[in-house]
A and B are shown apart, each in its own frame.
Chain A
Amino acid sequence: MYPELGQVSLILALLLALLLSGVPLAGALTGRDSLQAFARPLASGMFVFTGLAFAILTHAFMVDDFSVAYVANNSNSMLPWFYKFSAVWGGHEGSLLLWILMLTGWTLAVAVFSRRLPSTMVSQVLSVMGMVCVGFFLFIILTSNPFDRLLPNIPADGQDLNPLLQDIGLIVHPPMLYMGYVGFSVAFAFALAALINGRLDAAWARWSRPWTTVAWSFLTIGIALGSWWAYYELGWGGWWFWDPVENASLLPWLSGTALMHSLAVTEKRGVFKSWTVLLAIVTFALSLLGTFLVRSGVLTSVHAFASDPERGTFLLALLGITVVGSLSLYAFRAPVVHVRSRYGSMSREIFLLLNNVLLVTATLLVAIGTLYPLILDYLDMGKLSIGEPFFNTTFSPLAVAAGLLLGAGVFSRWKKTDGGWLGRKLLWPLALSLTASAAVILVYGAFKPWAFVGVFTAIWVAVATLWDLWDKSASRQGRLYGLKRQSRSYWGMVLGHLGVAMVMAGATVVSNYGIERDVRMVPGDSAMVGDYEIVFTYIGNRRGANFTAQYGSFDVLLNGEKISVLHPEKRNYPVGMSVMTEADIDGGLFRDIFVAIGERISDEAWAIRLQYKPLIRWLWLGALVMAIGGFLAISDKRYRIRAKNQVKVADSSPKVGSTQATGATS
């Protein structure tokens, strides 16, 4: 009974979404407040019914209702309750429902937090969100119904959740990732609304900015969690594989990063509007592209869902309608007239524009690298693989260039920066960074040119960011007062950039100075990895909730002193008949020691993989710092106080709006 109720609530939510996508927009276009007033109730209702559907599906998992096909395929009565819960989004249908739940959640959030915005703007934004919702409700109801029943042959037990997914990482990774993907729909909706009503101004940028930042922060956390999960759960100790699915999450992140910076310029200086609005559209389109790539099976990936041409076609149609619709609107309505704002060639505007050039190049590079095999195959020019070596060669220089530019950019001023002054300003940070990088390289031993460049870039970013903070916090009332006086959005930027520095440092050091060894060991043997000695003490058996495992016990010694004991496992999940390697890791801020057991070579001997991973945690910590920066930035009080002023400005400047509209058609 319940599952049918779930389906009914999805259909009701679809109907509400249909109303939401039409009624408030019609109200806004005809100026009828009575119709616009529907926007918020409709958004709330849509969320409530989607939430209900989600709750019902969760309930089906919790009570082991294997008459529901999706539950039978992704759960098992032996599964611990928390994995039953996370199994709700362990497969295609449920994760899509989670996606939609978040989409309606974001819609509701816009409805709730936009009370100070002009009502026409809110109506248009919510209508655009409603349109996106309609597409996804149709998708789930028509092609991927999570409530399909297996009647009358109800299986006695479920097929079990893929053991790879039975992990804390999976409980949190997809929700965070989807929060990011879906969150960009808000910036998209604001962009479309601004294009529709012709008010593409600084106020629009200000409203979009916090939404973009918060979505970006979630996405950052989501990607980092995915990388962390792959590192310890997939069992081979890598942290980024340039797999199409990973690339799919990186695409909106890169363009979203460009968007955040471009929004800053548009908000503060009122320039580059057409560019910013294009980025807002493209970022969400890339989120959708990612969803398409993961769920359509056009590319091979370790992480892809089972491919299904019907779903792929539907999603592509959805993507096509969204992209063609929004980009056509863009082509006809985006302003071409130049705002003749004055800025010099060394201004912050120009630095941020260069930042955009690099970030957009990086986005396109990842997109082209991911899709090129598909295109060549279509043109019958052979099947190629484009993987890590290609991306490492081409992506790293872009990252370095962006980092170097960032260091100079933080000192630059709006409108005009004196070149000589900037050069002198950079001299000391430059000297400090060079010295510090040399010291770091000495610590790690061998000199490698790329390692030096990477470490230098990371330190340069950090030094420049902190230097600027030091400059800005100078105050007669003391340093502490000066630091406190800085706005939260400034602190957000500082953390964001420090996070970038950490990620760069981690990526450079771990890929240049990490050690991987595959050794043959019998209990009693020891092997060296870096300065660490690993002693294989014994092998044992244990039984888990839904698996049996063989585990090895390894002592980790540094300078003859035991610093930890690791227990990597080989698990056997009887339900799915699968074998899993669980690595064990001695984690630390400056290095991880990673041990995994593999095949039994002979009665006594085992193949053991040992890894020394310096600074690897900095990758994920850096991402966390970035995300915290993002959350800090949106908590800045100016978004609340200024929002009030903005309403006044926007309402009192219809003339400006119409000027732009004429500008747009001329």
Chain B
Amino acid sequence: MKRLLLFLPLVIAVSLGIFLAAGIGKDPTKLESARIGKPVPAFSLESLNNSTQLLNETVLKGEVALLNVWAEWCPSCWDEHEYLMRLSKEKGVRIVGLNYKDQRETAFSFLDRLGNPYDEIIFDPKGSLGFDLGVYGAPETFVIDADGIVRYRHVGVVNQRVWEEVLQPVIQKAKGNS
């Protein structure tokens, strides 16, 4: 009986090892958004293209859409842009842009260089909507369903792999539900 007790440290160590093994290769800096299952926060911000036009949260309603947070100063945004163009042009995905802590001129020069995949672009120079959404660094991409509810948040570059393995299934599900 007492001998069994001596096996206790071994059992604890092995179970701990399982957790450690599971942790390898996972990126501990990836966070799930706190807004999942909640509506996009109310906002009223200018459209990037038209400073007299005010956009609000209804711009994200009616159809499942991607909300892509980007800025000219963000190097990874340059990397993912080409794939966003493909998503919008070839796959017909509705993408709404959130121009985050940027300036109009630099944003325009970015779009002139790389093209514009966005249905609509929200201009958020102070990052206030970004802050409300819990954005902690561009690029981030949210999946918003037809009711304007946040379904998913992806931090980092969107590419073929991310689209196929992560975003597309979420979008399918969001479409199915609404």
Taking beta carbons and an 8 Å cutoff, which residues of A are in contact with B?
A: 274, 278, 281-282, 285, 292, 296-300, 309, 312-313, 316, 319-320, 323-324, 327-328, 330-332, 334, 336, 371, 373-375, 377-378, 382-383
Contact residue among B6, B23, B32 (Cβ-Cβ distance under 8 Å from A378): B23
A336 touches B13 (CB 8 A): no
Instruction: Tell me what chain A mostly uses at the interface: helix, strand, loop, or mixed.
Output: helix
B17 touches A319 (CB 8 A): yes
List 18 A-B residue pairs with CB atoms under 8 Å apart, sorted by A's residue number: A296-B23, A300-B28, A309-B25, A316-B20, A319-B20, A327-B10, A331-B3, A331-B6, A331-B7, A331-B10, A336-B6, A371-B19, A371-B20, A373-B28, A378-B19, A378-B22, A383-B31, A383-B32
A316 touches B21 (CB 8 A): yes
Given A316-B20, A327-B13, A371-B16; A300-B29 close (CB under 8 Å)? yes
B13 touches A323 (CB 8 A): yes
For residue B14, CB closer than 8 A to chain A, the reply is yes
Chain B residues closer than 8 Å to A319, beta-carbon distance? 17, 20
CB proximity to A under 8 Å, residues B23-54: 23-26, 28-29, 31-32
Least CB distance from A264 to B in Å reads 22
Chain A, Cβ-Cβ closest to B30: A383
Given A312-B24, A312-B25, A371-B19, 14 other A-B contacts at CB below 8 A? A285-B13, A292-B20, A296-B23, A297-B24, A298-B24, A300-B28, A309-B25, A319-B17, A319-B20, A327-B9, A327-B10, A331-B3, A331-B7, A336-B3
Contact residue among A330, A371, A377 (Cβ-Cβ distance under 8 Å from B6): A330
Q: How far is the CA of A316 from the CA of B20 in the complex (A)?
A: 8
Chain B, Cβ-Cβ closest to A329: B10
Chain A, Cβ-Cβ closest to B9: A327
For residue B91, CB closer than 8 A to chain A, the reply is no
Chain A residues closer than 8 Å to B13, beta-carbon distance? 285, 323-324, 327
Least CB distance from A353 to B in Å reads 17
Q: How far is the CA of A559 from the CA of B2 in the complex (A)?
A: 68
Taking beta carbons and an 8 Å cutoff, which residues of B are in contact with A?
A: 2-3, 6-7, 9-10, 13-14, 16-17, 19-26, 28-29, 31-32
Q: How far is the CA of A328 from the CA of B14 in the complex (A)?
A: 11
Q: How far is the CA of A313 from the CA of B22 in the complex (A)?
A: 10
Q: How far is the CA of A607 from the CA of B10 in the complex (A)?
A: 53
Contact residue among B3, B19, B24, B31 (Cβ-Cβ distance under 8 Å from A296): B24
Top 5 nearest A-B pairs (CB, nearest first) are A298-B23, A309-B25, A327-B10, A336-B2, A312-B24
Least CB distance from B156 to A in Å reads 15
Chain B, Cβ-Cβ closest to A311: B24
B20 touches A298 (CB 8 A): yes
Chain A residues closer than 8 Å to B28, beta-carbon distance? 297-300, 373-374, 377
Least CB distance from B47 to A in Å reads 33
Chain A, Cβ-Cβ closest to B28: A300
Q: How far is the CA of A300 from the CA of B30 in the complex (A)?
A: 11
Chain B residues closer than 8 Å to A323, beta-carbon distance? 13, 17
B29 touches A374 (CB 8 A): no
Least CB distance from B123 to A in Å reads 27
Least CB distance from A92 to B in Å reads 16
A374 touches B32 (CB 8 A): no
Given A316-B17, A374-B19, A383-B31; A324-B25 close (CB under 8 Å)? no
Chain A residues closer than 8 Å to B19, beta-carbon distance? 371, 374-375, 378
Contact residue among B2, B7, B26 (Cβ-Cβ distance under 8 Å from A298): B26
Q: How far is the CA of A71 from the CA of B25 in the complex (A)?
A: 26
Chain B residues closer than 8 Å to A281, beta-carbon distance? 9
Q: How far is the CA of A619 from the CA of B19 in the complex (A)?
A: 34
Interface centre among B17, B22, B24, by most chain A C-beta atoms within 10 angstroms, is B24
Chain A, Cβ-Cβ closest to B4: A331
B24 touches A324 (CB 8 A): no
Q: How far is the CA of A331 from the CA of B6 in the complex (A)?
A: 5
A274 touches B24 (CB 8 A): no
Chain A residues closer than 8 Å to B22, beta-carbon distance? 378
Chain A, Cβ-Cβ closest to B8: A331
Least CB distance from A562 to B in Å reads 44
A324 touches B20 (CB 8 A): no
Chain B residues closer than 8 Å to A336, beta-carbon distance? 2-3, 6
Least CB distance from B168 to A in Å reads 22
Chain B, Cβ-Cβ closest to A309: B25
Chain A residues closer than 8 Å to B3, beta-carbon distance? 331, 336
Q: How far is the CA of A409 from the CA of B104 in the complex (A)?
A: 71
Q: How far is the CA of A587 from the CA of B10 in the complex (A)?
A: 48
Chain A residues closer than 8 Å to B16, beta-carbon distance? 371
Least CB distance from A336 to B in Å reads 4
Q: How far is the CA of A371 from the CA of B21 in the complex (A)?
A: 12
Least CB distance from A109 to B in Å reads 28
Chain A residues closer than 8 Å to B21, beta-carbon distance? 313, 316
Q: How far is the CA of A331 from the CA of B14 in the complex (A)?
A: 14
Chain A, Cβ-Cβ closest to B18: A378
Chain B residues closer than 8 Å to A296, beta-carbon distance? 20, 23-24
Least CB distance from A36 to B in Å reads 29
Chain B, Cβ-Cβ closest to A338: B2
Chain B residues closer than 8 Å to A278, beta-carbon distance? 9
Q: How far is the CA of A285 from the CA of B14 in the complex (A)?
A: 12
Chain A, Cβ-Cβ closest to B22: A378
A324 touches B2 (CB 8 A): no
Q: How far is the CA of A332 from the CA of B5 in the complex (A)?
A: 11
Least CB distance from A278 to B in Å reads 6
Chain A, Cβ-Cβ closest to B5: A336
Q: How far is the CA of A171 from the CA of B13 in the complex (A)?
A: 34
Chain A residues closer than 8 Å to B2, beta-carbon distance? 336
Chain A, Cβ-Cβ closest to B15: A375
Q: How far is the CA of A623 from the CA of B158 in the complex (A)?
A: 50
Chain B residues closer than 8 Å to A373, beta-carbon distance? 28
Given A336-B2, A336-B3; A282-B20 close (CB under 8 Å)? no
Q: How far is the CA of A425 from the CA of B169 in the complex (A)?
A: 73
Chain A, Cβ-Cβ closest to B14: A324
A374 touches B6 (CB 8 A): no
Chain B residues closer than 8 Å to A334, beta-carbon distance? 6
Chain A residues closer than 8 Å to B14, beta-carbon distance? 324
Chain B, Cβ-Cβ closest to A292: B20
A374 touches B10 (CB 8 A): no
Chain A, Cβ-Cβ closest to B12: A327
Chain B residues closer than 8 Å to A378, beta-carbon distance? 19, 22-23
Least CB distance from A633 to B in Å reads 28
B20 touches A328 (CB 8 A): no
Q: How far is the CA of A378 from the CA of B7 in the complex (A)?
A: 25
Least CB distance from B149 to A in Å reads 20
A374 touches B17 (CB 8 A): no
Given A299-B28, A300-B28, A320-B17; A282-B9 close (CB under 8 Å)? yes
Q: How far is the CA of A382 from the CA of B16 in the complex (A)?
A: 18
